[in-house]
Amino acid sequence: MANNKQKEVDQNLRQFIKDLGYIAGGGAILSTMPWLQSFTPAMAQSIRHEKARIGLIGTGSRGQYHIHNLLMMPHAQIVALCDDYAPNLQAASALVPSAKTYTDYKKLLESNEIDGIVISTPLHLHAQQTLDSLDAGKHVFCEKAMALTMEECKTVYEAYQKTDKVLYYCMQRMFDEKYIKGIGMIHSGIIGEVVGARCHWFRNHNWRRPVPSPELERRINWRLYWDYSGGLMTELASHQLEVANWANQRTPSSVCGMGDIVFWKDGREVYDSMSLVYRYGNGTKITYESLISNKFNGMEDQILGHKGTMNLATGTYFLEDVNSNQSGIQQLINQIGNRVFSAIPAAGASWRPETRDTYRPHFVMGNRNFSVTEGSSMIGAEADGSDAILSAFCQSCITGEKATEVVEECYSATLLCLLGNQAVAEQTTIAFPEEYKISHMKF
């Protein structure tokens, strides 16, 4: 049943993307999302008798999540597994008994039986393992973020420019149907001119995993230490900053912010509370906030327009001035009659209420409001695009076709995360460095 469900999800997204090419304005949407253009039912049909032979480096919780998705793909075959932590490798091997196992990823890369590599290791390993995999002649799919430092990001990007191999990063919102359609609607003007973005991700979870022995603390809880992780920025904000850039069709030129350890004072180094402001060259801004000791506000990716607001995370949008057929005075009279105010505010004939109206939600996809994970899981959410982007990678392993702009989007988002951390550490405003700008970026 699960296998059929996965195939159905994959085919539904492929059909949706194909249909975009036939509807009014669909071609314009696809022109701003070029990575989608070959992910169609026709392409799936053309490779139906072929399989991408996949080796996984990193078989922890996220690696096993990818294994479950790969096992449901008719065009993928898991042939090798690698991890230097025995419990993870054993658990993964139980899922794929036929796969060869390795404890040294460089030995895995020597195999001629592997077409593509899936990397699901801690962030500080991403850059070197990606470079080594490309050098070994393998196609690569790596978890976000791209790397732990800006210089590593630049090195990886330059290596990618010189190779004929495919490189994907798991920026799954780029293959999430509600985000695809919502961004297309934003670009078509449904919420008017984009005037800002408000993104946040709130959890109430210590972000820790159990450690069987003290010497494994940093290895298992790598997200909590600066030598291994970029903290909340690279682990969470990387997705949301990419979405804001996608909606704005540009890259922020500067960032400032604050970060603190407010609640989880347990020896961790990375902040558990962050607030940042990213400024685009045209003056619009992303306000970003993340807190992992309160989950009331959940996670939202709000794009603000002068005619409305799009919440991409829930697949809903809200339009301004829903009562614009009433005069300001008529609204005032109605609200006094409904006892909204205990006293009449003094104002002129152009008075408008400062209290927020009750906005009626409109839905990006049918009549569906998507729920957002409350954040206790560090593995992933169902049907968030992770399966589809991995499926696209396996397709590219077979065809050799590079995914336009996936690497560039991850590069930009990762740099912004690292710049945000730098701005917080230095308690100043950081401009986007000239030496890390690439032609893909518009400021």
SS3 content of the chain, % helix, strand, coil (to 5): 40, 20, 40
Tokens, residue 57: 């480096």
Same domain, residue pair 376 and 392: no
Average pLDDT of span 188-213:
96
Tokens of 138: 């393998």
138 lies in the same domain as 262 = no
Per-residue burial over 378-391, b = 16 or more CB atoms within 10 Å of its CB, e = otherwise: eebbebbbbbbbbb
Asked if omega into 244 is within 30° of 0 (cis), the reply is no
Residue 184 counted as domain residue:
no
Tokens, residue 263: 């609640």
Lowest mean pLDDT among 7-11, 111-115, 408-412: 7-11
Q: Is residue 123 part of a domain?
A: yes
Q: Are residues 307 and 432 in the same domain?
A: yes
- Separation CA 443–CA 435 (nearest Å): 14
Beta carbons of 233 and 293 less than 8 angstroms apart:
no
Span 178-196, pLDDT tens digits:
999 999 999 999 999 999 9
Residues 12 and 31 in one domain: yes
- pLDDT for 349 equals 46
Q: How far apart are CA 313 and CA 297, in angstroms?
A: 12
Of the pLDDT bands very low, low, confident and very high (cuts 50, 70, 90), residue 366 is: confident
Residue the block writes with tokens 């909204």? 340
Q: Which residues contact 115 (CB under 8 A, 6 or more apart)?
A: 52, 53, 54, 138, 139, 397, 398
Residues 272 and 135 in one domain: no
Residues with Cβ within 8 Å of 201's Cβ and at least 6 positions away in sequence, in order, are 232, 236, 237, 240, 289, 290, 299, 375
C-beta separation of 82 from 111 below 8 A: no
**Are 359 and 244 contained in the same domain?**
yes
* pLDDT greater than 80 at residue 72: yes
Closest-CA residue to 139 (of 121, 163, 162, 111): 163
Do 238 and 252 sit in the same domain of this protein? Answer: yes
Query: Is 56 part of any domain?
Result: yes
> Hey, what amino acid is at 74?
P
| C-beta of residue 418 within 8 angstroms of C-beta of residue 229 | no
> Which residues are registered as beta bridge partners of 140?
117, 167
Number of domains in the chain: 2
User: For a pLDDT cut of 90, what percent of the chain falls above it?
Assistant: 80
pLDDT in tens, 240-286: 999 999 999 999 999 999 999 999 999 999 999 999 999 999 999 99
> Average pLDDT, whole number, for the chain?
90
Torsion of CA 324, 330, 334, 337, to 10 degrees: 170
Residues 78 and 106 occupy one common structural domain: yes
Residue 232 sits in a domain whose CATH number is: 3.30.360.10
β partners of residue 118: 56, 141
Does pLDDT of 405 surpass 60?
yes
* Residue partners of 73: CB distance under 8 A and separation at least 6: 6, 10, 390, 391, 394
- Determine which of 135-149, 156-170, 218-232, 324-338 has the lowest per-residue pLDDT on average: 324-338
CB burial class (10 A; 0-12, 13-18, 19+) of residue 42? Answer: exposed
Q: What is the pTM of this model?
A: 0.90
| Mean predicted confidence (pLDDT) in 47-63 | 97
Q: Is residue 350 part of a domain?
A: yes
5: confidence class by pLDDT, cuts 50, 70, 90: low
From the CB of residue 172, how many other CB atoms can be counted at a distance below 10 Å?
A: 20
C-alpha–C-alpha distance, residues 248 and 196, integer Å: 8
The SS3 assignment for 309 reads: strand
Domain boundaries, position 295 = 191-380+416-436
- Spatial strand order of the sheet with 52-57 comes to 100-102, 76-82, 52-57, 116-119, 139-142, 167-169
| 181 assigned to some structural domain | no
Q: Check residues 378 and 169 and name the one with the higher pLDDT.
A: 169
pLDDT digits (tens, 9 = 90+) for 302-342: 999 999 999 999 999 999 976 544 444 444 445 444 444 44
Of the two residues 23 and 124, the one the predictor is more confident about is: 124
State whether 263 and 344 are in the same domain: yes
Cα distances from 433 to residues 255, 277, 310, 418, in angstroms, run 11, 17, 31, 12
DSSP 167: E
- The yes-or-no verdict on residue 377 having pLDDT over 60 is no
What is the CATH classification number for the domain harbouring 62? 3.40.50.720
Share of the chain above pLDDT 70, in %: 87
pLDDT of residue 379: 59
Whether residues 223 and 79 fall in one domain: no
Task: Give the helix/strand (H/E) hosting 395.
Answer: helix 386-399
DSSP state of 293: B
pLDDT confidence band for 22 (50 / 70 / 90): confident
Q: Specify if 76 maps to a domain.
A: yes
- Asked if residues 417 and 234 have their Cβ atoms less than 8 Å apart, the reply is yes
Residue 253 placed within a domain:
yes
Contact predicate 424/208, CB 8 Å = no
| pLDDT for residue 218 | 97
Q: Is 411 helix (H, G, I), strand (E, B) or coil?
A: helix
50 and 116 fall within a common domain: yes
Ranges of H-type helices in 32-149: 41-46, 61-71, 86-95, 105-109, 123-135
Position 398 scores a pLDDT of 98
Residue 143: pLDDT band with limits 50, 70, 90: very high
pLDDT of 3 reads 54
Q: Is the pLDDT of residue 19 over 90?
A: no
- Residue 169 placed within a domain: yes
For the CA atoms of the chain, what is the radius of gyration? Answer: 23
Q: Are residues 149 and 250 in the same domain?
A: no
Residues ≥6 apart with Cβ < 8 Å to 262: 272, 273, 291, 293
Which has the higher per-residue pLDDT, 359 or 83? 83
Instruction: Give the per-residue pLDDT at 277.
Output: 98
Closest CA to 415 of 376, 441, 380: 441
Residue pair 114/55 in contact by the 8 Å Cβ criterion: yes
Residue at token pair 């022995």: 213
pLDDT of amino acid 129: 98
